[in-house]
Amino acid sequence: MQKKWVQYWTFQLIGWGSFAVINTFFAFSFDKLSPEFFYRLGIFLFLGIIISHVMREILTRLGTLQKNLNKQVFQFFLLTFILAVIASFIYVETVKGFKLLRGDEEELLARTSISYWVNKLLLILSNAFSYFVLFFIWSLIYFMFHYVTKSRRQQLDTLRLESLVKELELKTIKAHINPHFIFNSLNSIRALVDENPQRARKAVTELSNILRSSMQSEKLETVPFEKELFIVKDYLALENMRFEDRLRIEYQINEETLDQPVPPMMLQTLVENAIKHGISKQIKGGVVKVISDFKNDYHEMIVQNTGYLNGSVNSEGFGISSTTNRLNLLYGDKAKFEIKQINGSLVEAKVRIPVGAV
């Protein structure tokens, strides 16, 4: 609050001070500098500062800046006119009282062809015009300053809101990912408990490693691809215990991509999707192939699996919808995701993230 107050009075002094400098310059140019000139200028400036401050207080109390544009313009014009007349009346009376009237002003008041009060009114209106112009400029600057300040504040509020929404959406998606992944993993372990307890214990160890990595990465928007790959390898090792010979795993990884930032749990979600909708539905099982490489300034993460799309893609499925939503939130339209049938029995899910996007 104190900062705004200092800023306001600084602008006041600069504005009216500039007016004083300009008037002094012209008076000097026309050789009209005199003690009377500076007395009159001082009175004029003092009244200008006081009345403009009164105008600010009135505008604040009326809440003019919060009203629609038509009411703002009307109140600005009306208030400017009224206060200009008041300032001019006080100025004329003060100058007259201190005997600082110019020769032409004294001549105007001394005329007998028109009544004294009419002459005085003309003198007040002539000075009121000067005040009106100055107050109008003052009001315009005041209005524009607050308009720009309000616009900036609204833009900042909008950005903060968008950032908050984005953060909440990402947290919601992450919260959805982990339970979804845990339930599928627990189902895999449950299938091993009676059949092979020793392997089930090993599966629990694998799951604990995955959950530890998942919990650590949940606080981050992105993680190195290498860390994401570790989670995927643990997950596939866990699923391999359940499917045994029905699941074949292949990796084709460009080591230069290991440092690339990727959304945590995204690759794991695609691999999980490949197992659930691909391998688990094939009597003879199939292959899951994980590919990571650079292509045309994009980092491509590809998951291929044995299976069929049946001519359509369910965009409402969790794996597809979560991947699409997260890419949109983090990269906008710069990142791409697609899933398609690349031959008679192989489905490909591909994520393309621009290099250096994060």
Query: Is the domain of 65 the same as that of 10?
Result: yes
**C-alpha span between 353 and 273 (Å, rounded):** 20
Query: Is the domain of 206 the same as that of 95?
Result: no
Q: pLDDT (tens digit, 9 = 90+) per residue, 117-155?
A: 777 777 788 888 888 888 888 888 888 887 888 778 778
Contacts of 334 (CB under 8 A, 6+ apart): 353, 354, 357
Q: What is the DSSP string of 157-205?
A: HHHHHHHHHHHHHHHHHHHHHHHHHHHHHHHHHHHHHTT-HHHHHHHHH
- Percentage, residues of the chain above pLDDT 90: 17
Query: Is the domain of 269 the same as that of 334?
Result: yes
Query: Is the domain of 14 the same as that of 133?
Result: yes
Q: pLDDT (tens digit, 9 = 90+) per residue, 12-38?
A: 888 888 888 998 988 888 878 888 889
Query: Is the domain of 29 the same as that of 121?
Result: yes
In a domain, 214, yes or no: yes
Query: Phi and psi of 307, rounded to 5°?
Result: 160, -175
- Is the overall model pTM greater than 0.75, yes or no? no
Query: Is the domain of 142 the same as that of 227?
Result: no
- Percentage, residues of the chain above pLDDT 70: 84
* E strand intervals along the chain: 223-224, 247-253, 261-262, 286-295, 298-306, 336-343, 346-354
Domain count, the chain: 2
Range of the domain at 240: 194-354
CATH, residue 204: 3.30.565.10
Query: Is the domain of 79 the same as that of 123?
Result: yes
β-pairing verdict for 286-295 and 247-253: parallel
Instruction: Give me the amino acid identity at 188.
Output: S
Q: Check residues 136 and 174 and name the one with the higher pLDDT.
A: 136
Query: Is the domain of 200 the same as that of 330?
Result: yes
Q: Are 343 and 299 in contact (CB under 8 A)?
A: no
Q: What is the largest CA-CA distance in the chain?
A: 123
Is residue 102 predicted with pLDDT exceeding 70?
Answer: yes
